[in-house]
Amino acid sequence: PSVLDSFALLSGQLNTLNKVLKNEKTPLLRNQVIIPLVLSPDRDEEIMRQTEGRVPVFSHEVVPDHLRTKPDPEVEEQEKQLITDAARISPDAAQKQIQSLNKMCSNLLEKISKEERESESGGLRQNKQTFNPADTNALVAAVAFGKGLSNRRPPGSGASVQSGQPGAGAIIAGASGMQQVPMTGAPAQQQPMLAGVQMAQAGQPGKV
């Protein structure tokens, strides 16, 4: 019974407090001044948690800054000067300045968005693949190792070789840049030529 009586008393007090706070005549708590009652130079974990690690202690050093309700005197002077200057401007001039400022902001936003679009499109172009890896690998293999190339010779490449010479078809027609070497055992005028390379007649050994 004592617990129930205490609970009923607390419940009634909480209801009364909620009614008072919800009343239209009650001022907002955010507009009230906070007075520090306890100041300590020691680290306070609860304050650390509530301020997300910005205020480790609630001491005499930080209280004037965090509970300040008015700006610094220098800032107050600047605000007064700005208010005075704004009061001197006519409504038409103020409207023109507002329009020009809005125009400048719009142009700046357009430039920023354009730069973002160009950077995104440039990144897409850089990431886009402009070649086929399979074709590249096939080309490198053909140039380096001769993979995939045909072994057939074009027709007519050995037409100038005399019929009585064995092994004449094995001479490449593109060897015209090779140095001529005289053949042993046969005169040079009797040695037939094929693309600048001297060949031995049939039955006569020789070397290129």
Q: Mean pLDDT over all residues of the chain?
A: 75
SS3 73: helix
User: Would you say residue 127 lies in a domain?
Assistant: no
Q: Which pLDDT band, with edges at 50, 70 and 90, does 110 fall under?
A: very high
End-to-end Cα distance, the chain: 126
As for how many domains the chain has, the answer is 1
Asked, for residue 4, whether it belongs to a domain, the answer is no
* Domain extent for 109: 70-119
Per the model's pLDDT, the better-predicted residue between 59 and 188 turns out to be 59
Residue 85: is its pLDDT beyond 80? yes
Tell me if 61 is assigned to some domain: no
Residue 45 placed within a domain: no
Q: How confident is the model at residue 152 (pLDDT cuts 50, 70, 90)?
A: low
Q: Is residue 101 part of a domain?
A: yes
pLDDT band at 126 (very low <50, low <70, confident <90, very high): low
In this predicted structure, what is the pLDDT of residue 108? 95
If 0-12 CB within 10 Å is exposed, 13-18 middle and 19+ buried, where does residue 58 land?
Answer: buried
98 assigned to some structural domain: yes
Task: Say if 194 falls within a structural domain.
Answer: no
Q: Tell me whether residue 111 is in a domain.
A: yes
Q: Check residues 77 and 171 and name the one with the higher pLDDT.
A: 77
